[in-house]
Amino acid sequence: MAQFSIESNGRLEKTVIYLNGEQLGGVKEIFLNLDEDGTFDSIIQYEGSDKILYTKQIFTEYLERIKVVEASFTEEEAEELQLLTLDSDGEIENTNVLLNNEPLDGIVSLLVHIKGAASNTGIQSLFKLKKPIPDHPEFKAEITFRNQDNTIETEAIF
């Protein structure tokens, strides 16, 4: 199983991406979409060490030529951020979602779309969704829960 994490305060300039505990560099776009009906999209677009742009499934494809960089935040700075983590083998049934290392239960859906710059090579062309994926800089991260009384509640993650 792979571990994919996003550490952030909700702003692009204070966001880092980790894969199996290593901070990634060259990330251009992240799209995570999970729901209780079985939808599970996990896409990363990044510039590899060879300067080629790659678009991959995070949990099921090998991320070739991915850049690993030194930690951007000190421990003190990281304490002011939220840490969203997905542990998965690429199957939604085998996926755990954690926030600040605490497992989350009652998830109806999770949507994270982080894109740093406008581009005509974004991941939007890969999907036919009810809501289009914007092709401009965006930071959207929300989770919808089913409460014990069966009501639905959506919250920002970061």
pLDDT, one tens digit per residue, over 57-97 is 999 999 999 999 999 999 899 899 999 999 999 999 999 99
Q: Tell me the pLDDT band of 128, cut-offs 50, 70 and 90.
A: low
Domains in the chain, number? 1
Cα–Cα–Cα angle for 60, 64, 70, rounded to 5 degrees? 105
**pTM higher than 0.85, yes or no?**
yes
Q: Describe the strand order of the beta sheet including 53-57 as a list of residue ranges.
A: 53-57, 40-47, 27-35, 107-115, 138-146, 152-156
Q: Which domain holds residue 136?
A: 2-156
Mean pLDDT of 130-143: 75
